[in-house]
Homo-oligomer: A and B are copies of this chain.
Amino acid sequence: MKKTTAQNAFYAQSGGVSAVINASACGVIETALRSRHIGRVYAGRHGIIGALTEDLIDVGRESPAVIRALKHTPAGAFGSARFKLKGLQENRAEYERLIEVFRAHNIGYFFYNGGNDSMDTALKVSQIGASLGFPITCVGVPKTVDNDLPHTDCCPGFGSVAKYVAVSTREAALDVASMARTSTRVFVLEVMGRHAGWIAAAGGLAGKGPDEPPHIILFPEVPFERDNFLARVKQCVTDFGYCVIVVSEGAAFADGRFLADAGTKDAFGHTQLGGVAPVVANMVREAHGYKYHWAVADYLQRAARHIASRVDVEQAYAVGKAAVELGVRGVNAVMPTIVRKSSRPYRWVIGHVPLDKVANQEKKVPREFITEDGFGITAAGRRYLEPLIAGEDYPPYKNGLPDYVKIKGVLVKRKLSTDFKL
């Protein structure tokens, strides 16, 4: 084990996980373990919660092979958390506790792997640390399948879910085309993206042009118009014999109501949660009577490491590595970004942006990426999306299944005598 007087580093995973967040972890950890500026490397058990409760995983106790295997293992190996620290005014105690734990364990580097909210937290930690006389270098590591972080060309996690959705749409469309003569005419695939339609847009890559499925994409960015939609479905069935629809979970009416909330009730009259796909499918059935099928990809899409994009895996690793390199150079309160140099061929480099420019911002699909009718992606959209799903990066297999790794997760001995209640 490395002996050094350098300060230790703390890494945590935050929010919804992805197929490649562990690849970022691998990038952070491998780089930090090699750095002479960093002492021990700790990871929060269940993200930032591990810092508050002093549950710190000693990453140095994991074998290099296990750390390496994180690069091909989906989801959050250290545990993630949906836990947003409150504002400084509302709950200063949380921040003070964080600094207390960091101080006790001589943690001078904080690498926070998450989305918009997490960048806000990392920013606040850097501010409060300085004001409490324990300055901490805070670097965000971008992660979100939703691809909604600004100031970066894309977000690690998105490329792989995009590839999954594009591949699945192409495959399911072939299935529907086979069956449409006597059976299913309409197929609806529901994908993630509560506020931004990037994932739905990726479904558009499944076809090579407007005549190929998916025939209709429903974006959160485009207000849903029932009659217009139903007319288009009918036109597709007439023209092609079938209709493939990719719908974002965030698809909404002009007044902002989600389609998913259109109100399905169970036998007891209780509102049933979730599922825009069955709502859309039922709408089609009621209007046209077509036989339909629907699928809801849910966690399958964001955990699908088996069909990860190679570009995405590389970028996920690169932002993790860059975060540590920035940190040890003393660049504080920033997030590494992906900077696109060209689309064809695809070339990118790592840049960085101050956290206060990213925190709590949201990047939606621009109108010029969506066709005028609102149902598809344009050439510009395709040009943006296509490089992000390029290349395969298959995990190793054992007995027919991906050989994903589990960490030992040995906790560091606690130094504080106080407990912290969440």
> Could you say which residues of chain B place their CB within 8 Å of the CB of A166?
400-401
Is A367 among interface residues, defined by CB-CB distance under 8 A? no
> Could you say which residues of chain B place their CB within 8 Å of the CB of A349?
none
- Convert A364-400 into 0s and 1s, putting 1 for each residue whose CB lies closer than 8 angstroms to a CB of B: 0000000000000000000000100111101001011
Contact across chains for B404 and A389 when beta carbons are under 8 A apart = no
Shortest CB–CB separation between residue A362 and chain B, in angstroms?
A: 20
Q: CB-nearest residue of chain B relative to A207?
A: B401
- Convert A296-308 into 0s and 1s, putting 1 for each residue whose CB lies closer than 8 angstroms to a CB of B: 1111101111110
Please choose the segment from A72-80, A215-223, A226-234, A412-420 that sits at the chain B interface, where 4 or more of its residues have CB less than 8 A away. Answer: A72-80
> Could you say which residues of chain B place their CB within 8 Å of the CB of A17?
175, 178-179
- Convert A307-322 into 0s and 1s, putting 1 for each residue whose CB lies closer than 8 angstroms to a CB of B: 1010000000000000
Neighbour of A295 across the interface among B167, B172, B299, B392, CB < 8 A: B299
Neighbour of A402 across the interface among B170, B302, B309, CB < 8 A: B170
Contact across chains for A263 and B264 when beta carbons are under 8 A apart = no
A82-B183 CB under 8 A given contacts A386-B400, A399-B386: yes
A304-B168 CB under 8 A given contacts A181-B46, A206-B401: yes
Please choose the segment from A88-96, A121-129, A269-277 that sits at the chain B interface, where 4 or more of its residues have CB less than 8 A away. Answer: A269-277
Contact across chains for B306 and A171 when beta carbons are under 8 A apart = yes
Is A11 among interface residues, defined by CB-CB distance under 8 A? no
Shortest CB–CB separation between residue A254 and chain B, in angstroms?
A: 18
Give the oligomeric copy count.
Answer: 2
Contact across chains for B299 and A296 when beta carbons are under 8 A apart = no
Q: CB-nearest residue of chain B relative to A390?
A: B400
Is A65 among interface residues, defined by CB-CB distance under 8 A? no
- Convert A331-355 into 0s and 1s, putting 1 for each residue whose CB lies closer than 8 angstroms to a CB of B: 0000000000000000000000000
Contact across chains for A82 and B182 when beta carbons are under 8 A apart = yes
- Convert A199-215 into 0s and 1s, putting 1 for each residue whose CB lies closer than 8 angstroms to a CB of B: 00000011000000000
> Could you say which residues of chain B place their CB within 8 Å of the CB of A13?
178
Shortest CB–CB separation between residue A325 and chain B, in angstroms?
A: 26
Please choose the segment from A34-42, A104-112, A134-142, A278-286 that sits at the chain B interface, where 4 or more of its residues have CB less than 8 A away. Answer: A278-286
A175-B282 CB under 8 A given contacts A170-B402, A183-B82: no
Q: A75-B178, A270-B282, A275-B275 known; 5 other A-B pairs, CB under 8 Å?
A: A80-B179, A171-B299, A171-B300, A293-B299, A309-B400
* 8 residue pairs, one from A and one from B, having the closest CB atoms: A76-B178, A389-B400, A75-B174, A295-B298, A263-B267, A171-B303, A46-B181, A175-B303
A interface residues with partner B (beta carbon < 8 Å): 13, 16-17, 19, 46, 49, 73-77, 79-83, 163, 166-168, 170-172, 174-179, 181-183, 187, 189, 205-206, 262-267, 270, 272-275, 277-279, 281-282, 285-286, 293-300, 302-307, 309, 386, 389-392, 394, 397, 399-402, 404
